Structure 1
């Protein structure tokens, strides 16, 4: 009985090891793109408008704009100055200011820095791209 249970556990571990939250395509993307840079926040004037993904923008949600990551990708944004991090979902495009890599909602930005700072250096880690989607042209 114990031998059968051990084999069962071993098989489960093998199956789980094949499951990854980040696809091979996203791993390659992260190796070929800069995932460090300056982050900013964007806010109140966009409240209630539709984001590029079609979702309604809400300043109280943990979402972000990135130039090319697929909508629905979950990333961890870490403030390089203080080590604080926040998880956000990519649901919009931007930032459109040279030198910036990601725009956060005020709620997400406040988790890692004061919005009075405006711009901070960050590192971006892709955590999950299993729920991503793209619009057909």
Structure 2
């Protein structure tokens, strides 16, 4: 259990993209390859920071560390760019 908490607390930096599809009333969710489902992460970019819940696996594109929902992408200001550099904690 301590190992799980320690690994979830590690920060990582890399590229993020967003995904469409059905959302649950603007809920900020995201997909990550290894973090546990239901865990909360902080995603930061250029002075914007959000909390989102891991509810899926991915991204499956090389070099990307996280995929965020459309509402999370709007909050991060990444709708025009599509793919941006972020920090995930």
| TM > 0.5 | yes
Question: In the alignment, what sits opposite 2:85?
Answer: 121
Offset from partner CA, 1:102-131 (integer Å, 9 cap, x none): 000010011011312101111111xxxxxx
More helix by share: 1
Partner of 2:66: 102
Partner of 1:53: none
Higher RCO (C-alpha under 8 Å, 6+ residues apart): 2
The aligned runs of 1:5-20 (5 Å cut-off) are: none
Whose strand proportion is higher, 1 or 2?
A: 2
Structure 2 unaligned regions, length at least 5 = none
Length, aligned pairs only: 89
Query: Does 1:63 pair with 2:41?
Result: no
Q: CA RMSD in A?
A: 2.0
Greater C-alpha Rg:
1
